[in-house]
Every structure is written in structure tokens, then in C-alpha cells.
Amino acid sequence: MEFDLHTHTSQGSACSRMNIWDLIQAACQKGLDGICVTDHDYCWDSRELAKFSAESGIQIYGGIELSTSVGEILVYGVHQSLLNLRDDLPRLAQFVHDSKGVMVAAHPFRTDFAYSVFSREERGLEPIEVEVMYRRPIFDFVDALEVYNGRSNWQEIRAARNAVSILGKIGTGGSDAHNILSVGSCITVFEDSIRNEAQLVAQLRKGRIRAKKKEVT
């Protein structure tokens, strides 16, 4: 089953140019089995999303893209604000796991390989030390890393693929869509059938998934 695990709507993310129904319609048109709405530091009401799911015919679950001091983290399976925990990673991880949720490092190397016509040296930045990148604190607390992100360049994707191999972590995929054209550009394929959010989170934790890029139509 194919899910886009990283999407944004204008209701919860000021940077998004699509509302929830734009997102749902785009996901349906692109043949996805489901989506996770992961707005920035915003928690959707799971009952509201269940209503949208029933009306649209695809599975729709809520997540949170939580801003922290060590990077952005996608949280699934938790349905309340986590803003009070975002500066305390040990407590955040404990709370999410106690809630039977899962945490994924979103686009973990975006700041390292930001798009620019200039090299790091030309921008006055130090060369990237790969071994140091993979020892960052965030990786001690998350369950998985987002390997394929629709807004990532090839350097970010390569670094993330190497990281999951070196760290022994799970790799996920999501479009990070802020407009309808991007929906479904990167996805997570679940090995087993998904019927509810608990099954989705369980398969994420077990790693019964694979991430991939998908042609956007």
C-alpha cells in the first residue's frame, strides 16, 4: 500500500498553498492508498480526519512536523500538542513511545545540502564532515529517517540513504507537499495491508516498509 507520509495544508501550515480538500483530491487522483497530514507544530483532530477519510474513500491520518532545536521531527500516532516537549528530546521520545507513536527525522540533511548556485566554500561554510553528520543527537532518539523527500536534492537523499545503513535505522518517504503538484512525489510503501492508524504506526516501527520516489502526474 502506498502512503504519502509528509504533507502540509494551509489550515495548519502558513507556508502551504493547498487546503485539506485540495490535498485529498490530489492524493485520490494520484492513486494513493492514504496520506498523513503533518502540519508544522499543529495537531489535527483525528475525528475530523476520519470524517474526511470516510467521505473521500482513502485513508487519512494526522501527524505533526515538530520543530526542535536539533531539527524537525515527524511524529505519528500522537494526537495532542507536543510544543511543551520539543526542547527536551529524551522526554519527547519517552512520551511518544509511551503513547505507542513513532518519530522520524524529517529531511535530516536539508541544512547541509541546501540548494545554491555556490559551493559551501564560496558561501563561507566549512566542508561537511560525514562522520560528524551521522553522530548528531537527533538520531539517538528517532525511530527512522526520512530518506526520500520531495523537496530534497540528490545530495540530501544520498546522505540519508547512507545514514540509515550506517545507523541501522528505518527509511521513510514523503512528498513534503505544499502544493497539489507535489503530492505523492515521494512515498512509503507498506508491505502489509493497512486498515487503521495503529497498523500504520506498527509497521513503521517494525520497518515493514520501503521508501521510493514516484513519478508525479
- pLDDT digits 0-9 by tens, 134-185: 889 999 999 999 999 999 999 899 999 999 999 999 999 999 999 999 999 9
Neighbours of 54 (CB within 10 A): 9
Q: Which domain holds residue 28?
A: 2-213
In one letter, which amino acid is 127? P
CA distance 180 to 84: 32
The angle, 0 to 180 degrees and rounded to 10, between the axes of the packed helices 46-56 and 20-29 is 40
15's grid cell: 507556508
Q: What is the mean pLDDT of the chain?
A: 92
This prediction's pTM: 0.92
Coil, strand or helix at 153 = coil
CATH number of the structural domain spanning residue 66? 3.20.20.140
Q: Is the per-residue pLDDT at 122 higher than 90?
A: no
* Mean per-residue pLDDT, 38-60: 97
The 34-40 sheet, strands edge to edge: 170-174, 144-149, 102-105, 71-76, 59-68, 34-40, 2-7, 186-190, 209-213
CA distance 17 to 4: 17
Lowest pLDDT segment from 28-37, 90-99, 108-117, 167-176: 108-117
CA distance 109 to 139: 12
CA distance 206 to 156: 24
pLDDT digits (tens, 9 = 90+) for 18-32: 999 999 999 999 999
Q: How confident is the model at residue 36 (pLDDT cuts 50, 70, 90)?
A: very high
Note the helical H segments in 46-196.
46-56, 89-98, 130-133, 154-167
Q: CB of 53 within 8 A of CB of 26?
A: no
Number of domains in the chain: 1
Q: CB of 49 within 8 A of CB of 62?
A: yes
CA distance 189 to 148: 12
